[in-house]
Amino acid sequence: MADYIHYGEVWRRVVAGLVDLVILAVPVALFALLSPTPPEEAVATLIVFGSGLIMFYRMILEGSPMQATIGKRLLDLKVTNPEGAQLSWANTAVRSWPFWLTGALFGVTGELIAVVIVVSAAAIAVIPFTARRQGLHDFTARSIVVRRYVEIRPSEDGPPSA
């Protein structure tokens, strides 16, 4: 007997990510308006600030009992380990690496930043092509994204028909 898990659809994950970006744009914009940073350093400062904010936003919300960012909750998704349990904050920090690593290394010059951007994009781009709809960041954190209100239930025939 196998368990059927309804993994989060790619389109739901994309829309949830866009909702989260809109939510995070507000504090980044406020930071930009109130920051005493000289104009020549403003872009780098905003990228590093935004990357850190993304990491902590995802880490705190996905590592909480809610198991989802605001965008994921609105799209009925949650992040779990393969057994359905809540992730630790350490796992959620690891899981968010494609989103903060580029910003954290923004000051690095040369080919390294280009490699990080490509690897981060590839981490997300593989999601539609894996059986459990996992990105490289999900594999590194031992996590999956599932529908919140769809039960994990025993099934001998595979997934239920829609």
Looking at residues 114-139, what average pLDDT do you find? 86
Which range among 5-14, 34-43, 70-79 shows the weakest confidence by mean pLDDT?
Answer: 34-43
Query: Which phi-psi region, left, alpha or beta, contains residue 47 (left: φ > 0; alpha: ψ -120 to 50)?
Result: alpha
- Of the pLDDT bands very low, low, confident and very high (cuts 50, 70, 90), residue 22 is very high
Residue 133 · residue 6 · CB < 8 Å: no
Please tell me the predicted confidence (pLDDT) of residue 106: 66
Can you give the length of the chain in residues? 162
pLDDT in tens, 84-107: 899 998 899 889 888 777 777 766
Please tell me the predicted confidence (pLDDT) of residue 151: 55
Domain boundaries, the chain: 2-148
Type of residue found at 69 = T
> Which segments of 7-67 are extended strands (E)?
none
Type of residue found at 89 = W
Is the confidence at residue 30, as pLDDT, over 70? yes
d(CA 136, CA 120): 9
Q: At what angle do helices 111-125 and 97-104 cross, to 10 degrees?
A: 170
Please tell me the predicted confidence (pLDDT) of residue 1: 30
User: pTM here?
Assistant: 0.78
Question: pLDDT over 70 for what percent of the chain?
Answer: 85
